[in-house]
Structure 1
Amino acid sequence: MSGHSMFAIPVGQQASLWLSYAVVLMLLPVCAVIAGVVVGVSNRGQSPEDGSLVRQFLLFLAIFAAATWGISRLPSVQSRINPEVKLQEQLHENIAYQAIDKYSPSDLVTVQAALGKEVAGGASVADAFVRIRPVFAALTRERLGFADQATAVMWTHVMRDVLQQMKAFDPQNCVRTLHLVPGTPHPLSGPVLSEESSAAFLKAVADVYASASEGMRHDTVRKDPHVELQALQMEYRRVMDQMQGEFGEDAVRTKDPAWREAHPALYCDMVLRKTQLVLQREPAMAGSLLRAYWRGDTN
């Protein structure tokens, strides 16, 4: 089985059954010994006929074999004897994976392929989830357009924390988290984030998928206040005016890759300040602006 396919198929029910059969067969001699002991103890001091002893033995053997079968089918036991069950448990312990599995089968294929590649290269499932954080981030940005305004605000708070940690580690990481240079490793794929930030990131991915799923349903009425496009554009210009007032002409150079690479710390400061200014707007405006920002429409 390839590294990709083991993530792309459901738990093999047939394999699971065969493993349970194997467990029962392996333990059948033990069941027979226990059944013999029980029959011997229950008939101590008596002289039953051979036929009666055989029937009692077979009855207890069947009971113990059935109990062994039942125990072998318990999820806790299956996770020990069936590698696929254990793998599925590890996958579904990840809240982001759970959400993508629930809300977007097409995106799940992408995630499974990325996980399979990492595991095939020798990574544990836990390490593979760290290494595919860039995949989660990219897929989530695509979904943000369908998420509600409050979720866009939440995602921004999480990403600001991520960028601040990236900048503290290396300002270049902050730049490349948003604008990856081909041929270089994505900063999110490394163990840079704190445990709390990593958990918050995964929860944010799950929350965006849940909100986007609701937003894409035809039977759902949007509760977000409507923001006119013209008002959105005017407010964005006000944000940019504030940025130019603080950063001068550098405020309009952020789309230049060469400038970003030459001034990583300044660029990161500008991203953090820009998102902070947007967050200061009233919630409906902030959420609408941030949805556009993270999709790349305004940054």
Structure 2
Amino acid sequence: MSPMVSAARAGLARGWIELRQTFTNGQDLWNYLFPTVILLVVMVFMRNSTVPGTNFSLGSRTLPSALGMGIAFGGLITTAMALTVDREDGTLLRAKAIPNGMFGYLIGKIVLVTGMGVVSMVLQLTPGVFLLDGLAIGSPTGWLTLIWVLLLGMVATMPIGAIFGSLFSNPRSMGIMMLPLMGLIATSGIFYPITNFPAWLQWVAQVFPVYWLGLGMRSALLPDSMAAVEFGHSWRHLETVGVLGAWAILGLVMAPIVLRRMARRESGSSVAARREKAMQRIT
């Protein structure tokens, strides 16, 4: 068995173990359940409102949009947070010291973040189907669309998240990423159709993955008639693949370069210095 295959198998095993551990950790369970409950409560309150120009429930339209938002959030923030935590506690340094350890480490994080994203999606979608009306959940084509949007969305966002995680030396710096991401979510048609925004804001939103992930999930879970309220009166699958694919290519090209440079800077002294700063903050 080649060293790379062994590293990949070790990474898969590590990712699966870390994913299972999230079901036994109180904080991780809270991170699964709290956003789900908040989103479902918001959507239930929105279900009697309608999408402008239609009789369709705004809450039902928001559910698939929120699923797309969750993919973006997981790929960007969860990946970046995991990388900075592992830098601070020395996990990344230990992975670097093992032959092909960084490759196995990244495989493990892909499994972990993807698994967490799928679990969160199931937790939101399952009760949402019973609480909200009008979702097109009986179409095999819709489920296939959901799968490819999920996978392409992860590939488009996780490398970018890894790049940002490489730029920050401690998890407490993640607030710098949260503010612009919240702005993107607010302007990307997640909670309200983008066609009601100013034209310049529509174009800005369409540059980033958040809008396209929301659109892709809506195309998977909403009736075809709802495409009429979207930009261009279409689900624009080709454009979705194009934009998310462009972000994926950018991330896959840049992430290895940034990660290699970050790994070269990792040493026992740098980990010890970060730990000492962390202890000083605690005390």
Bucket of the pairwise TM-score, normalised by the shorter protein: under 0.3
* Structure showing greater Rg: 1
- TM-score normalised by length of structure 2: 0.25
- TM-score normalised by length of structure 1: 0.24
